[in-house]
């Protein structure tokens, strides 16, 4: 399973810590290291949107990222806390590198925005 089940209380605590980190000057709401030397990052964006990204630990550049709208923030936190880094995280609405969109995070509705 690409994303482990993340309990709501774990999400709430991570969100609290993430808000605090950003207020204290961090660029990321959350960073989770993976065993293979990469990390999963949760980045704040405009209008309460967030992006889940993946890249090498310590690199200035991230390899890939997926956007989540303000109403999907819990899905983004579930991905940041539980996704194993293989394939793609669940629930995103926009993949900037390819132009793919998934209304409501639904893969069955995916289309490419040109």
Residue 98, helix vs strand vs coil = coil
pLDDT at 65: 97
Residue 113 has pLDDT above 80, yes or no: yes
pLDDT at 60: 83
- In this predicted model, what pLDDT tens digit does every residue of 58-87 receive, in sequence order? 888 999 999 999 999 999 999 999 999 999
pLDDT at 2: 67
Q: 103: which 2 tokens?
A: 């209304």
pLDDT at 46: 94
Q: How far is CA 83 from CA 23, 91, 113, in A?
A: 25, 11, 25
Residue 114 has pLDDT above 90, yes or no: no
Overall pTM surpassing 0.75 (yes/no): yes
């Amino acid at each position: 399973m690409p994303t482990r089940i993340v309990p709501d209380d774990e999400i709430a605590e991570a969100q609290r810590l993430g808000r605090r980190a950003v207020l204290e000057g961090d660029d990321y709401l959350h960073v989770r290291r993976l065993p293979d030397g990469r990390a999963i990052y949760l980045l704040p964006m405009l209008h309460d949107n967030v992006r889940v990204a993946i890249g090498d630990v310590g690199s200035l550049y991230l390899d890939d990222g997926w956007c989540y709208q303000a109403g999907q923030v819990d899905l983004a936190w579930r991905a940041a806390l539980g996704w194993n880094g293989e394939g793609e995280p669940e629930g995103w609405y926009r993949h900037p590198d390819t132009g793919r969109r998934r209304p409501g995070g639904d893969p069955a509705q995916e289309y490419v925005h040109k």
